Every structure is written in structure tokens, then in C-alpha cells.
Structure 1
Amino acid sequence: MTNERRVLVHPDKVSLAGSVAARFITKMLDLLDAQPVVHVVLTGGSMGAAVLEAVAASPARMSIDWTRVHFWWGDERWVPARDTERNDEQSRVALLDDLDLPEGNLHPFPTSDSGLTLDEAAVDYAAELADHGVDGMPHPIFDITFLGVGPDGHIASLFPHRSGIQVTDRTVIVVRDSPKPPPERLSLTRPVINASQRVWLVLAGADKASALGLALAGASRDEVPVAGIKGRRRTVFFVDQDAAAEVPESLIARDY
């Protein structure tokens, strides 16, 4: 089993989104040829949506049996259902609503208007993860986990200098003091993310260059949370030219 980190650089955001979408479709076809069900973790943000929009625009997406794909999310804002700030709503608009998926294939975090408290919502999502756990693990083995990276190096809702990145005894945490609004959120923990077969980090813009450079240089995960993320088989940073400004030439891959 390989365990690699690669940085793939693209000229701009448009080509970045298109390339990741094409690789995603190809990998999904490979995975579905080899196993009955695939589990994917989605992310929000502009690049997360751009990748899904590029998938939606590709005729090749029709080759995928989406009824065998389960979608999860790495984190979520504690706001009402269908709120445009929710990551799951952005994913639905970009792609998922067009796929005619069985409702049981979608696993969004609970919403603030669900009748649950924030703490109850974390327990609820942990239970849903456990319902799909395999090999004695309290969660699925995600085949592909998409992550964005903030300018401060945060991933999901695991932020620098906060305790979330250090949690190892839970699958889901509550965040009440997010430095990025809104303050209340739910997030998968680092061990769950790192149990993924493949982690695909998609980031663009000069404001991400420092965090990426620090992560690849071996910064502390407490200082730069993305530094503590690594998939079981492979970790790929899909970046545009601006975000790659501080990546050593030796770490840039020439092919996938």
C-alpha cells in the first residue's frame, strides 16, 4: 500500500476545478468497478463548489452509478436547513440535486432547526457514522475525502491553536468559538479524516500559499492543522499556480 503526498499545480482556478473533476470521475469509475459501494466526503467553499459544478458539466458523469455512492461532509455550519451557508446546500446546488440520489445516500450534518441541540447533533452524526462503520471502526472508510484549506491552514472546522485538531477519542466534535463565522459548527475529527483512503485537498489563491508551504515543510498540526492530515493511501494537494508559490520544486509532481 502506498502512502504518498503529491502536489499537482494547475495554471488557474478554472483548469484546477476541471482537472480535479475529471480525476474524480475516473477514480469513481475505478472504485465502483472494484467494490459495491463508495463513500465520499465533500467540502464547501468556492473551490469545493467549483469542482462539483465541473463534474455536473461533464457528460462522463452519466457513466457513474451514483446510486452506489454515499456522500458525507467534513464539517458544517450550525444554521438552518437549505441555508446557503451550509456546505451540504452548496453541494446540492452544484451537483447532488441533479443526480436523483436515494435520500439514504446523503448524510448531511443535522441542522440548527432540526430540534436538536448542538451537542445532540454531534451525537446524532456520530451514530450515523457508526451505522456505516466497517472493520470494527466507528465510521466508514472513506474512499475519497475532499478538503479545502483556509489561509490559516485550517481544514474542516479544525482551527489553529484550538483543541479540535487534538481530539482523538470522538468522531465528531462541536465547535462553539470558530474564528471564522458562524461561530457554531460541527466537524469530523482528525483520526476520521486520516482513516480515509485518499485525501484530496483543493486550494487556490495566493492567500493559501503560506499555509501550504508550512504544511509541506513539516509545521506542527497545532499551528497549521492541514500539516496533520494524511490519507491511508494517498494525499494529493491540487493547487493553482498562486497557491503553489511557496512549495519547494522537489515536492511538485509532474503527473498523478
Structure 2
Amino acid sequence: MTRPEPRVEVHPDADTLATTVAGALLERLVEAQAAGREPNLGLTGGTIAEAIHREVARLGPASGVDWSRVVIWWGDERFVEAGSPERNAAQARAAFIDPLGIPRHRVHEVASSGECPTAEEAADIYSAAIREHGAGEFEVLMFGLGPDGHLASLFPGHAGLRATDRIAIAVHDSPKPPPERVSLTYEAFDRSRAVWFLVSGEGKADAVARTLGADATDGDLATRRETTPAVGVHGVQETVWFLDRAAASRL
């Protein structure tokens, strides 16, 4: 199936980017619910994601979104103790999930290291939850982008890049601490109506240019992903790169 080419939006700064993405997300959720869908939302972590989450909390009460009908997931998670501030879920809960009163049974966290003996078991439990409670697709799946071109917890050269027939996998020896993680796979990414990349700062500019440039070249996708994992991740309906001016500076 042919998917639309990525769209790039460049915003003056990180604050403008955060407000724009939050507004676009709320509109998307309202439209999905109006069409009779119960939207499954895949979150990411990081500084710009935290800013977006705060804007969602600010704008959310008046948005028209029925928060009891939004299902929350994460594209990846750090396999650490449940109370650790390193967990993406902890940040999102504090920033907007709890303030907006999203019901606990709609929020699907990856099991922590205190709940599972291994990241492999946590990945299996998470995969089973997506099969049971997911809608077969993400309404919106959001990603940050690492300076090395990684997304979720799929890093250059790591075995997870080559995972097949898996929804979620364990990641060991992550080059970015903490070393133990759980990540969705490319096959899970492909089940997304919309894929949004949220990228801020000059430190990401080379990775942005490399990813979007590689997207437009011929060659084997799997080979290109070995060095730039974010290459070729597209939503069924749309793929949007939300960038601030600094992140777009090498395009």
C-alpha cells in the first residue's frame, strides 16, 4: 500500500511547536471520536514531549475530547522501577494523564522491573495488552528523534531493527541510559493512521536531515535503517515532521 509522503512543518521555536502539536492532537482526537472511533494514542518521552503534554493539559478541558474514550500507550519505555522518574509514563501521568482524569484502565504502561523479572517478559505482556485492548491501529503514534537517528528504543545497529512478527521487544545495552528497555517494533509502527515526529533543537538537525534525505533515496530500507532507524516510518494516512527552526536548520 502506498502511503503519503511525509509533510514537514517548521515552527519558530520549541514553545510554538508544542502549542501547535497539542492543538493538532486535540483536533485529531475529536475527529476520531466524532467518526465513532475510540482513539489509541501512542506517546513518546523527552523534553519536547513534556512541553506538548503540558499544553494538552492546558487546552484539553475545553477541546471537546471525551477523555474517558482515549486509550494511552507508549512507543517505548525504560525497564526500571515503577516509581522511577526515568519512566516515560511517569512524566506523562504528571503532565496530562492525571490532570485530565483519563481513567486508569485506559492507560497501558509497560511493566516495570519491579513487576517483571526480565524485559522480555515485560515486552510479551505489553504485546498481549495491545492485542487485547488495542483497536488494531494507533490513531496517532508520536516519536522523538535521537541525534543518532533512533526512534522509540530502536538504535543503530541493534538487533531490534530486524525483529519480525513481534509487537514489542526487549532492548538490552542501549547506548542511551538506562540500558534495559522495551520498544514497539516497525511492524507495530506500521499500524498507525498518523505518525508524528516531534523534534526540537540544533542537536537533532543532522539526524533530521539524514532521515528525511534517506527517505527520498533508493536502496534497501533495512540496510538504511541499520544506521538511521527512523528512516521510512510512515503513517497510513499521514506522516508529519513537526520541527522547530533549529531542528530544521540543515534541511
TM-score bracket for this pair, using the shorter chain length: over 0.9
Structure 1 CA distance, aligned partners of 2:62 and 2:241? 23
Q: How does 1:62-141 map to 2 (within 5 A)?
A: 62-133=63-134, 140-141=136-137
- Shifted more, 225-234 versus 8-17: the winner is 225-234
Distance 1:61 1:186, change over 3 A: farther
Between the aligned residues of both structures, percent identity stands at 40
Match for 1:237: what amino acid? W
3-state SS of 1:24 partner:
helix
Of 141, 145, 148, which aligns to 1:145? 141
Equivalent in the alignment of 2:15 = 14
Residue aligning to 2:201: 205
CA contact (8 A) 2:89 2:109 kept: yes
Alignment length (residue pairs): 242
Rounded to whole Å, the distance in 2 between the matches of 1:117 and 1:61 is: 42
1:156 aligns with 2:152: yes
Contact 2:138 2:191 in 1 (8 A): yes
Which of 242, 246, 250 is equivalent to 1:246? 250
| Equivalent in the alignment of 1:5 | 6
Deviation for aligned residue 1:117: 2.3
| Residues 18-37 of structure 1, C-alpha deviations (whole Å, 9 max, x = no match) | 11011111111111100241
Structure-1 separation of matches of 2:37 and 2:134: 15
Contact 1:25 / 1:60 at 8 angstroms: preserved in 2?
A: no
TM-score (norm 1): 0.90
Q: Check conservation: 1:39, 1:69, Cα contact below 8 A.
A: yes
Residue 4 of structure 1 contacts residue 233 of structure 1 at CA under 8 Å; is this kept in 2? no
Q: TM-score, normalised by structure 2?
A: 0.92
2:27 matches 1:31: no
Q: How far apart are residue 193 of structure 1 and its match?
A: 0.8
Asked if 1:175 corresponds to 2:176, the answer is no
* Shift of residue 2, structure 1, vs aligned partner: 5.8
Deviating above 6 A after TM superposition, structure 1's stretches of 4 or more consecutive aligned residues are: none
- Cα distance in structure 2, aligned partners of 1:111 and 1:160: 25
Instruction: Determine if contact 1:38/1:142 at 8 Å carries over to the other structure.
Output: yes
CA distance, structure 2, for counterparts of residue 61 and residue 111 of structure 1: 34
Change (3 A) 1:232 1:20: same
Q: Return 5+ residue gaps in structure 1 as ranges.
A: 135-139, 248-256
Deviation at 1:59? Answer: 5.7
Distance change (3 Å), C-alpha of 1:224 and 1:242 = same
Deviations 1:27-86 (A, max 9, x none): 111111002411000011001111010111126545210111000000000111121110
Name the aligned partner's letter for residue 165 of structure 2. D
- Partner secondary structure for residue 227 of structure 2: coil
Equivalent residue of 2:9, what SS?
A: strand
* Alignment deviations for residues 170-197 of structure 1 (CA, whole Å, 9 cap, x no partner): 1111111100000000000011012211
Structure 1 pair 7–180 and aligned structure 2 pair: CA distance change class (3 A): same
